[in-house]
């Protein structure tokens, strides 16, 4: 079991690297509907996977599918390492979060209704994952991981919360976003917040995976 948990930390880091690399590759060749280049200041992440618009959409979507599965495996390893009721709860929510990333790649923006559903599942499940992890670390007398990990998960939780706060809550709001996409501003808060969530999740998984390995080595040096 120790080897499985240890391996999951590397698998999780591989997952976020694949997702990040696929986003960078797709972003460099992106040409939008208005012949614009990609900018994180006013483009949503999912636009990189829009088939027929993003030239390398299949690379991005494939990266999400594979990367999501790998991060789900990391969340399973983290849950096993934490153990008990906290581990079970985190395992369930974490698996939903990771698998929903894969589904975002399976159902790109071209299938908008189901795409929004799975994307929102990721955002809400991700928020719950960070909240549950924070509560575990803060409330435990001797948590299995260093309490400093609550800092990165706390920042990630706040990023999720800010993005969700600005999400459209009605069909009229959604139509408003569609209109903005036709003549998007140079700086747009909602896509920037989405990228903030993206980077915070990358940082939290990467740092937590490294600290989990360090902690395992200290507890079981052999």
pLDDT along the chain (222 residues), means of 10: 88 97 96 91 95 95 98 96 92 96 96 92 97 93 89 96 84 58 84 96 96 86 62
Q: Residue 100 has what pLDDT?
A: 97
Are 126 and 202 within 8 A, CB to CB?
no
Q: Residue 169 has what pLDDT?
A: 67
Q: Residue 2 has what pLDDT?
A: 78
Q: Residue 200 has what pLDDT?
A: 96
> How many domains in the chain?
1
Q: Residue 177 has what pLDDT?
A: 65
Q: Residue 220 has what pLDDT?
A: 73
Q: Residue 77 has what pLDDT?
A: 95
**Neighbour count for residue 19 (Cβ, 10 Å):** 26
**Neighbour count for residue 181 (Cβ, 10 Å):** 16
- CA dist 194 and 202 (Å) reads 13
Tokens of 82: 């934490």
Residue numbers of the domain that contains 92: 2-219
Closest CA to 137 of 126, 124, 157, 151: 151
Are 95 and 72 within 8 A, CB to CB?
yes
Q: Residue 167 has what pLDDT?
A: 84
């Amino acid at each position: 079991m120790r080897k499985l948990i240890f391996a999951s930390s590397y698998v999780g880091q591989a997952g976020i690297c694949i997702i990040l690399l696929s986003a960078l590759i797709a972003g460099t060749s992106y040409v939008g509907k208005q012949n614009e280049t990609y900018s994180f200041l006013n483009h949503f992440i999912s636009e990189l996977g829009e088939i027929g618009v993003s030239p390398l959409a299949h690379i991005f979507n494939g990266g999400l599918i594979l990367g999501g599965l790998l991060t789900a495996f990391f969340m399973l390893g983290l849950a096993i390492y934490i153990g008990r009721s906290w581990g079970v709860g985190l395992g369930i929510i974490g698996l939903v979060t990771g698998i929903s990333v894969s589904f975002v790649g399976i159902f790109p923006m071209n299938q908008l209704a189901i795409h929004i559903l799975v994307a929102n599942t990721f955002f809400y499940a991700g928020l719950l994952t960070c909240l549950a992890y924070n509560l575990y670390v803060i409330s435990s007398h001797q948590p299995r991981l260093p309490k400093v990990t609550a800092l990165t998960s706390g920042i990630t939780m706040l990023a999720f919360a800010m993005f969700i706060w600005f999400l459209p809550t009605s069909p009229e709001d959604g139509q408003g976003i569609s209109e903005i996409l036709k003549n998007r501003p140079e700086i747009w808060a909602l896509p920037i917040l989405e990228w903030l969530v993206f980077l915070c999740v990358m940082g939290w998984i990467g740092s937590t995976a490294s600290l989990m390995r360090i902690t395992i080595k200290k507890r079981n040096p052999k």
